[in-house]
Amino acid sequence: MKKLVCVILSLILCMSCACATATEANIPEVKWEHPLPLMEVQSDYTMLVNADHLLDKSFKPDPQVKVTGIKRATSAAVYMEKTAAEALKKMFAAAALVTEYNYVGADGKTKLAQYGEDGMVLYLKSGYRSYGTQATVYANYLDRNNGVDDGYVAKPGSSEHQSGLCADVLNADYAGRPTMTQDFKWTPEAQWMKENCAEFGFILRYTEEAEETTGIKFEPWHFRYVGESVAAYIMAKEITLEEYTEEINAALADYEERGGDSEEQIAYEFRKMNKPPETFVLDEYGEDGDAEVSLVF
Ligand SMILES: [Zn+2]
């Protein structure tokens, strides 16, 4: 009986909805070829900041929020761009649900980390840093390092920290140390973040393999917010934000050359987003215990 009702319902819906032919008619003539939606790649969250792409002295994240409600590895207040801060808090909350985690120790052996009721605890070390602060950090570092710029500290304007879109995150042990060191990578927290950060829209920005491309030494604690789709793409392809930007710029140039219309494409992507799902389960389990009926629009 239920099945009959559903079949009738599906016929009514099919007659009343905008069917496939109508949707197809609205597909832009010039196809956007890149697997990521155009609206995602044009997002401000993917902005590239490095020695060749400097932020203006006056640049500040907007909106900017004070990051509260999570553990910090500093007594100073930490600020970040609002969406990035919210995403970071979600990552911390997900870590708190981890009770066991397999990781590779410095000896190359797989180990099991076990946590108490607080789960895996992460510590936020730093977020937004102003141009002026970065200038001081840079000058102090050069003083300590005999005037040598070895790539550990970004020049003012070239630090992602000024964007407010990144965070340095440590575990309890490293949070208590005066300096951050690369052996943090052997901790379960660093490995869990690398494995899971994309789910929250973050990428591990300065990887061990990409020091030449990024111009920055490996930082297992530095996570940059780019949005979930872009993060998943970058982490799965194991590319840098520099390589991603180059790829997108090439795709955009090609699209423009073929006469693509960005506005039309983005409108199309929004329509696709708002479209009802292709199928959905009307009634999860029927009397016979099987998934009942899916309606196709
Ligand atoms: Zn950092």
Ligand 1 center to 1 CA (angstroms): 61
Give CA–CA dist 85/249, Å, rounded: 27
Residues 48-101 pLDDT 10s: 999 999 999 999 999 999 999 999 999 999 999 999 999 999 999 999 999 999
Mean pLDDT value across residues 157-179:
96
Give CA–CA dist 283/274, Å, rounded: 22
Domain with CATH 3.30.1380.10 in the chain: 44-226
Give CA–CA dist 206/216, Å, rounded: 6
Q: Give yes or no for residue 210 having a pLDDT over 90.
A: yes
Round to the nearest angstrom and report the end-to-end CA distance of the chain.
22
Q: How far is residue 297 from each of residues 18, 20, 42, 125, 292, measured CA to CA in Å?
A: 8, 8, 30, 49, 17
pLDDT for 24 equals 56
**Strand duo 222-225 + 166-170: pairing:** antiparallel
Mean pLDDT value across residues 104-122:
97
Ligand 1 center to 110 CA (angstroms): 27
Q: What is the mean pLDDT of the chain?
A: 87
295 vs 147, residue with greater confidence: 147
Ligand 1 center to 160 CA (angstroms): 7
Q: Please, how many CA atoms are within 13 Å of residue 52, restricted to the half-sphere of its CB? A: 8
pTM of the model: 0.82
Ligand 1 center to 201 CA (angstroms): 16
Ligand 1 center to 75 CA (angstroms): 17
Ligand 1 center to 97 CA (angstroms): 25
Ligand 1 center to 96 CA (angstroms): 22
Mean pLDDT value across residues 33-39:
94
CATH level 2 (architecture), domain 44-226: 2-Layer Sandwich (3.30)
Ligand 1 center to 115 CA (angstroms): 26
pLDDT for 26 equals 81
Ligand 1 center to 249 CA (angstroms): 25
Ligand 1 center to 166 CA (angstroms): 7
Ligand 1 center to 219 CA (angstroms): 7
Ligand 1 center to 152 CA (angstroms): 10
pLDDT for 23 equals 52
Ligand 1 center to 247 CA (angstroms): 24
Residues 10-27 pLDDT 10s: 433 443 444 444 455 589
Residues 235-287 pLDDT 10s: 999 999 999 999 999 999 999 999 999 999 999 999 988 876 555 444 444 44
Ligand 1 center to 120 CA (angstroms): 21
